[in-house]
């Protein structure tokens, strides 16, 4: 009897010590500016934020710079999926004409490292899977999504299209409920849920009871999915990252439109079930920060040539700097950044004079030198002239990059 009890105890200890399996769900709920969240009743977003964290955020790239990005839905989704702004991923509108798949999405990065693990997409818009993620396309190396639940916007029999967009509300309900059930039962390793109805009410009614009712409706759906990951964590040896965000804000005048660079159109938010780092808590993160956060949490290891292109930094773990900028003064390259550390750690700086990554190749970087991160500035001589420069800052915990474009050749 003693031996049986001892064996059982050892088994329980071994199970408790076994590393939890990392899994992740991210939700994009469309078209909700940051100032709308406090005005709506959102108990589930509130609960997620209390258990984890919440921050205002932004989309739209560098306003007035080479990376300025339209505050349009598919553009925002792809900035999240790839961790780069539109000058790289090349999705300028909802038509999704020519995505540049040389900037891989989280689905491709995940599948590259864990081909045996399961991915899923639950979406009110099929193009998210077929065009943005690029399932079964040459450019994504024929990427497969293991489970898809989408395309209902094309089903006009079960979801007849009406001028009040109630059919989108019904599709959101179907998509979210199925996502909650599937995640609870099957526990896919990486899932994307997309919900649209809030944006439709914004376009139809602007700042209105209809829009705020839609936000509250979406919050209920988010809550059902959140319950599923809590169930998984309570009943399986799993550790889940749950991220909820939006793709753009709305115009200040009446909330009916988006696409421009006004503060409200650029203003978004991020909620997650984990405590964010100092950058998340003290700065305004961007939608491009979500990709490196997911990569870090899931313990993925993309090639350096991929990480060198990311315009975001992780929202979890240690971070060192942000907002790298560069200017050329004659033969001198002047760099500035915002330090997020007070240590004496140094960063390494590199320059490339090509943009071969755009075409699926790798750039050759020349080492410029090092500088103390907390100083926030550095200067290096640049002898060899070029039409463009890609500057890379490598810190102990992540990378930053910026461009100097003197012509439009790239």
Same domain, 153 and 73: yes
Whether 9 is in a domain gets the answer: no
Does pLDDT of 172 surpass 50? yes
pLDDT band at 85 (very low <50, low <70, confident <90, very high): very high
Q: Report CA-CA distances (Å) from 218 to 27, 44, 108, 221, 232.
A: 11, 10, 28, 5, 22
Q: Same domain, yes or no, for 368 and 252?
A: no
> Do 45 and 187 belong together in one domain?
yes
At 116 the pLDDT is 98
Task: Specify whether 195 is located in the same domain as 239.
Answer: yes
Mean pLDDT of the chain: 95
The predicted structure's pLDDT at residue 17? 57
Confidence at 376, pLDDT banded by 50, 70, 90: very high
Same domain as 158, residue 190: yes
Provide the pLDDT confidence category of residue 408 given band limits of 50, 70 and 90. Answer: low
Query: Band of the pLDDT at 2, cuts 50, 70, 90?
Result: very low
Indicate whether 376 and 238 sit together in one domain.
no
Percent of the chain at pLDDT exceeding 90: 93
Q: Which helix or strand (DSSP H or E) is residue 381 part of?
A: strand 377-381
CA angle 326, 327, 333 (to 5 degrees): 85
Is residue 183 in some structural domain? yes
* pLDDT band at residue 407 using 50, 70 and 90 as cut-offs: low
Residue 168 within a domain = yes
Categorize the per-residue pLDDT at 406 as very low, low, confident or very high, splitting at 50, 70 and 90: confident
Predicted pLDDT of residue 221: 98
Each residue's pLDDT tens digit, 73-83:
999 999 999 99
C-beta neighbour count of 175 within 10 angstroms = 23
The answer to whether 333 and 379 have CB atoms below 8 angstroms apart is: yes
Domain boundary, last residue among 285, 307, 329: 307
Position 3 in a domain: no
Q: Do 155 and 260 share a domain, yes or no?
A: yes
> Does some domain include residue 247?
yes
CATH of the domain at 176: 3.40.720.10
pLDDT on residue 383? 82
Query: 152 with 238, same domain?
Result: yes
- With bands split at pLDDT 50, 70 and 90, how would you rate the model's confidence at 384? confident
Question: pTM of the prediction?
Answer: 0.95
Q: Are residues 157 and 301 both part of a single domain?
A: yes
- DSSP β-bridge partners for residue 402: 391
Tens-digit pLDDT profile for residues 327-347: 999 999 999 999 999 999 999
Distance between CA atoms of residues 156 and 347, nearest Å:
56
Surface-to-core class of residue 208, CB atoms within 10 Å of its CB (0-12 exposed, 13-18 middle, 19+ buried): middle
Mean pLDDT calculated for residue range 45-70: 98
The pLDDT assigned to 410 comes to 41
Q: Looking at residues 37-52, what average pLDDT do you find?
A: 98
Q: What is the pLDDT of residues 232-269, one digit of tens each?
A: 999 999 999 999 999 999 999 999 999 999 999 999 99
Element (H, E) at 170: helix 166-186
Instruction: Give the pLDDT score at 248.
Output: 98
Q: What is the dihedral of CA 115, 400, 312, 308, to 10 degrees?
A: -30
| Residue 175: pLDDT band with limits 50, 70, 90 | very high
pLDDT digits (tens, 9 = 90+) for 93-126: 999 999 999 999 999 999 999 999 999 999 999 9
Same-domain check for residues 347 and 242: no
pLDDT-derived band at 385 (thresholds 50, 70, 90) equals confident
pLDDT per residue over 272-327, tens digit each?
A: 999 999 999 999 999 999 999 999 999 999 999 999 999 999 999 999 999 999 99
For residue 12, is pLDDT > 70?
no
Domains in the chain, number: 2
316: in domain: no
User: Considering 244, 273, 307, which residue would you say is the last residue of a domain?
Assistant: 307
Residue 122: strand pairing partners: 149, 193
From 254, 272, 307, give the residue that closes a domain.
307
- Rounded to whole angstroms, how far apart are CA atoms 78 and 105? 8
Q: Is the dihedral of CA 77, 82, 85, 86 positive or negative?
A: negative
Does residue 333 share a domain with residue 301? Answer: no
Task: List the CATH number of the domain containing 360.
Answer: 2.60.40.10
* CA angle, residues 24, 225, 289, in degrees to nearest 5: 40
Three-state DSSP at 106 gives helix
| 203 and 72 belong to one structural domain | yes
Q: Which residues pair with 23 in a beta bridge?
A: 240
User: Does 12 reside within a domain?
Assistant: no
pLDDT at 4: 43
Residues 266 and 64: their CA atoms lie apart, in Å, by: 13
**Is residue 103 a part of any domain in this protein?**
yes
- Our CA angle for 298, 301, 304, nearest 5°, is 140
Distance between CA atoms of 237 and 328, rounded to whole angstroms? 53
Q: Which domain holds residue 386?
A: 321-405
pLDDT of res. 10: 43
Q: How confident is the model at residue 202, as a pLDDT?
A: 98
The per-residue pLDDT for 176 is 98
């Amino acid at each position: 009897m003693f031996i049986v009890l001892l064996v059982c105890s050892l088994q329980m200890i071994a199970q408790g010590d076994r590393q939890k399996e990392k899994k992740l769900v991210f939700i994009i709920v469309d078209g909700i500016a940051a100032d709308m969240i406090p005005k709506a009743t959102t108990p589930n977003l509130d609960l997620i934020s209390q258990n984890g964290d919440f921050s205002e955020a932004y989309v739209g790239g560098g306003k007035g710079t080479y990376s300025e990005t339209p505050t349009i839905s598919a553009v925002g989704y792809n900035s999240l999926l790839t961790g780069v702004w539109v000058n790289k991923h090349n999705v300028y509108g909802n038509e999704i004409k020519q995505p540049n798949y040389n900037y891989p999405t989280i689905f491709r990065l995940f599948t590259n490292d864990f081909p045996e693990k399961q991915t899923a997409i639950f979406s009110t818009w099929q193009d998210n899977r077929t065009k943005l993620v690029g399932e079964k396309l040459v450019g994504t190396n024929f990427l497969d999504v293991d489970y898809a639940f989408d395309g209902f916007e094309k089903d006009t029999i079960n979801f007849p299209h009406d001028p009040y967009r109630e059919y989108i509300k019904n599709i959101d309900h179907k998509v979210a409920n199925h996502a909650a059930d599937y995640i609870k039962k099957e526990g896919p390793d990486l899932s994307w849920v997309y919900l649209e109805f809030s944006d439709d009410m914004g376009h139809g009614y602007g700042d209105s009871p209809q829009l705020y009712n839609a936000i509250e409706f979406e919050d209920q759906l988010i809550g059902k999915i959140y319950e599923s990951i809590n169930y998984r964590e309570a009943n399986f040896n799993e550790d889940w990252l749950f991220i909820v965000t939006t793709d753009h804000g709305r115009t200040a005048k009446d909330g009916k439109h988006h696409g421009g660079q006004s503060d409200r159109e650029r203003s978004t938010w991020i909620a997650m079930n984990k405590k964010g780092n100092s950058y998340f808590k003290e700065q305004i993160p961007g939608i491009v920060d979500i990709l490196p956060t997911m990569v870090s949490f899931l313990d993925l290891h993309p090639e350096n040539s991929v990480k060198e292109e990311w315009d975001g930094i992780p929202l979890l773990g240690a971070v060192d700097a942000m907002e790298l900028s560069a200017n050329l003064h004659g033969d001198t390259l002047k760099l500035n950044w915002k330090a997020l550390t007070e240590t004496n750690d140094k960063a390494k700086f590199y320059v490339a004079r090509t943009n071969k990554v755009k075409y699926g190749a790798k750039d050759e970087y020349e080492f410029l030198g090092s500088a103390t991160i907390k100083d926030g500035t550095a200067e290096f001589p640049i002898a060899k002239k070029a039409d463009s420069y890609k500057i890379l800052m490598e810190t102990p915990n992540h990378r930053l990059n910026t461009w100097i474009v003197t012509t439009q050749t790239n």
